[in-house]
Amino acid sequence: MISYNKSLNETKQENKQEQNEKIVEKKSDVKFVKIQQEIISQEKKIEPKPEPKVTEKIIEKQIKVPKNESENKISQNTKKSADIKQAKEMQKSILKETNALQEKTLEDFLSQKEPINKNILNELEKLYGEEYKNFTKVQKAYLEKNLNNFQVITQRVLDRMGYPELAAKQKIGGINTVEFVFYPNGDISDLRIINSSGYSVLDKHSIELIEIAYKDYPKPTEPIKIRFRVFYRAY
């Protein structure tokens, strides 16, 4: 009987102990759940911190020209300016020497007591008469130098144009004298026949010749009246 009671008591104690353990477990579970809920709620309450705004600073870079390069550019510009100045001075010097040489040549020519060709002087006096004496030294020098040039250039154009067809058929020849005013810019005015050949076909042809040939005549330094003869020889 005692042993039975003992075993019964032990059984009761064991059952009581098991119940206590279960209660402890439940309490711990409840506590764990509460703690977890608190942690989760705390995690939810944490708001993300705003990220700091990053402002980009624009840094202007100054390009520094190497000192040697800038010095080289300055020296090159200086050299170019010096070269241009030297070229201008040289050009002025050459122009001055050329003008001096031309003046000296003209003075030498004018200072001659006798003309270059006596025949040319005689021809000019026939063409101009007393009027020739009123010409300046420069005008006389120009005529004495270029009278033959006028005739040669005109004859060259005549050969290129050909002899007047009607005059060639009739074998007509002759000489006429042309006159015009010649200007430094190469223009002419008052072109006319002052001494006719006796044939209108030849006189008309001479006017046409001069209108073409005058472009190749040597230009005067001042306006001058030009006179010379045009020759037609029928073959």
Per-residue pLDDT of 177-194, as tens digits, reads: 999 999 999 999 999 999
Question: How long is the chain?
Answer: 235
Mean pLDDT value of segment 125-148: 93
> 94 lies in which domain range?
77-111
Residues 154 and 230 sit within 8 Å (Cβ to Cβ): yes
Q: Looking at this protein, which amino acid is placed at residue 105?
A: T
What tens digit of pLDDT does each residue of 8-55 get?
555 555 555 555 555 444 444 445 444 455 544 444 445 555 555 555
Reply yes or no on whether the pLDDT at 150 is more than 80: yes
Asked whether residue 148 is domain-assigned, the answer is yes
* Number of separate domains in the chain: 2
Q: How confident is the model at residue 102 (pLDDT cuts 50, 70, 90)?
A: low
Note whether residue 182 is domain-resident.
yes
User: Which of 96, 111, 126 is the C-terminal boundary of a domain?
Assistant: 111
Mean pLDDT of all residues in 61-83: 60
pTM summary value? 0.51
Mean pLDDT of the chain: 74
Residue 179 is assigned to a structural domain of this protein: yes
Residue 143 lies in a domain: yes
Query: Domain for residue 26, yes or no?
Result: no
For the ranges 10-14, 75-79, 110-114, 226-230, the lowest mean pLDDT is seen at: 110-114
Are residues 150 and 171 located together in one domain of the fold? yes
Identify the pLDDT of residue 231: 93
Residue 159 lies in a domain: yes
151 and 179 part of one domain: yes
65 found inside a domain: no
CA 119, chain centre distance (Å): 53
Distances (CA, A) of 215 to 54, 186, 202: 84, 7, 21
Does any domain span residue 203? yes
Q: What pLDDT, on the 0 to 100 scale, is given for residue 5?
A: 47
- 156 lies in the same domain as 142: yes
Long-range contacts from 105-108, C-beta under 8 angstroms, 24+ separation: 106/138, 106/141
Q: What is the pLDDT of residue 117?
A: 77
Mean pLDDT of 99-114: 52
Residue that is written with structure tokens 């402890």 in the block: 24
Q: How far apart are alpha carbons 75 and 183 in whole angstroms? A: 50
Q: Indicate if 140 and 211 belong to the same structural domain.
A: yes
Q: Give 64's pLDDT tier (boundaries 50, 70, 90).
A: low
E strand or H helix at 86: helix 67-110
